[in-house]
Structure 1
Amino acid sequence: MINNQIIRILSKILFPFLIIFALYVQFHGDYGPGGGFQAGVVVAAAFVFYALVNGLAKLKEIISEKLLECLVPLGVLIYSGVGVTSWILGGNFLDYSLLDKSDPSHGQHMGVLIIELGVLITVAATMLLIFYSFSGRGRKGDS
């Protein structure tokens, strides 16, 4: 935990901007570089930054390991759910154009956004679980 008041105040100011930037990367992924993976890493980095400033215990009060362990498969279920929905609608797995039969291009766009949301959730949760694993280990010789 950092006791410097300026850094703590700056972290409170920066945190929402990091999350907004992650959302920008998420939604801009259709048109340029970015997408779910990059946005998930930015979300995880924002929470790691929070933990570095406020302490790991504070972060675990907000996001427990149990919650993260539930979020990892949730993202995979969202991803595969889009594919199964395409099957149910009579198309191939991940055939996004069937998601909106009146406007296939809208269905493509909607499918990609939903898939990328699943990727964001899984990547952010996985990165935070890795951080929790490494941060709880301590240094050699520490008791």
Structure 2
Amino acid sequence: MQNRPIARIGAKILTPPLMLFALYVQFHGDLGPGGGFQAGVIFAVGFILYALLFGLERARRAVPPGLLLPLAALGVLIYAGTGVAGLLLGGSYLDYNVLAHEPHHGQHLGIFLVELGVGLTVSSIMTTLFFCFAGRGR
């Protein structure tokens, strides 16, 4: 892809705002449309765009595949841990009201943590799937 300078420069310009938009969708998921799944997919698209324009090996150096599965597991652990925390604090599984001194604050904290876990897992798995399928064509 060395002969596509306009696409490469465009990707260098668009990737940081794309990642920033993914963070916006992630952290405003409890206040409006969006959340962990959408943010995870947008974040993965940033890595996929990078890999398509700069090469699979360079993308694997930027995002090591050995890091992706532990991040996916961490996301599941955050999600499940939020539910278990609700149980340990005397509520039901994923009962956010007991996570803080006021139910309203507990709701925000619980939704934030669950969406963070979903976002990490989705982004890691989508990027892993891309790396798995992109390497098969050679």
Q: Same fold (TM over 0.5)?
A: yes
| Aligned counterparts of 2:2 and 2:130: Cα–Cα separation in 1 | 18
Q: Point out the more displaced range, 1-10 or 81-90.
A: 1-10
Unaligned runs of 5+ in 1: none
Residue 91 of structure 1: how far off its partner (Å): 1.1
Quote the residue 2:90 is aligned against.
90
| Aligned counterparts of 1:2 and 1:44: Cα–Cα separation in 2 | 23
Q: Point out the more displaced range, 61-70 or 1-10.
A: 1-10
Quote the residue 2:32 is aligned against.
32
Paired residues in the alignment total 138
Quote the residue 1:8 is aligned against.
8
Quote the residue 1:79 is aligned against.
79
Residue 33 of structure 1: how far off its partner (Å): 1.9
Quote the residue 1:120 is aligned against.
119
The reply on whether 1:137 has 2:136 as its aligned counterpart is: yes
CA RMSD in angstroms comes to 1.2
Using the size of structure 1 for normalisation, the TM-score is 0.91
| Aligned counterparts of 1:64 and 1:44: Cα–Cα separation in 2 | 13
Q: Kindly report which structure 2 residues correspond to 1:46-57, keeping only aligned pairs within 5 A, or say none.
A: 46-57=46-57
Residue 28 of structure 1: how far off its partner (Å): 2.3
| Aligned counterparts of 1:117 and 1:58: Cα–Cα separation in 2 | 27
| Aligned counterparts of 1:51 and 1:2: Cα–Cα separation in 2 | 13
| Aligned counterparts of 1:2 and 1:133: Cα–Cα separation in 2 | 23
| Aligned counterparts of 1:3 and 1:99: Cα–Cα separation in 2 | 54
Unaligned runs of 5+ in 2: none
| Aligned counterparts of 1:100 and 1:31: Cα–Cα separation in 2 | 18
Change in Cα spacing, 1:34 to 1:12, as seen in structure 2 (3 Å) is same
Greater helix fraction, Structure 1 or Structure 2: 2
Using the size of structure 2 for normalisation, the TM-score is 0.94
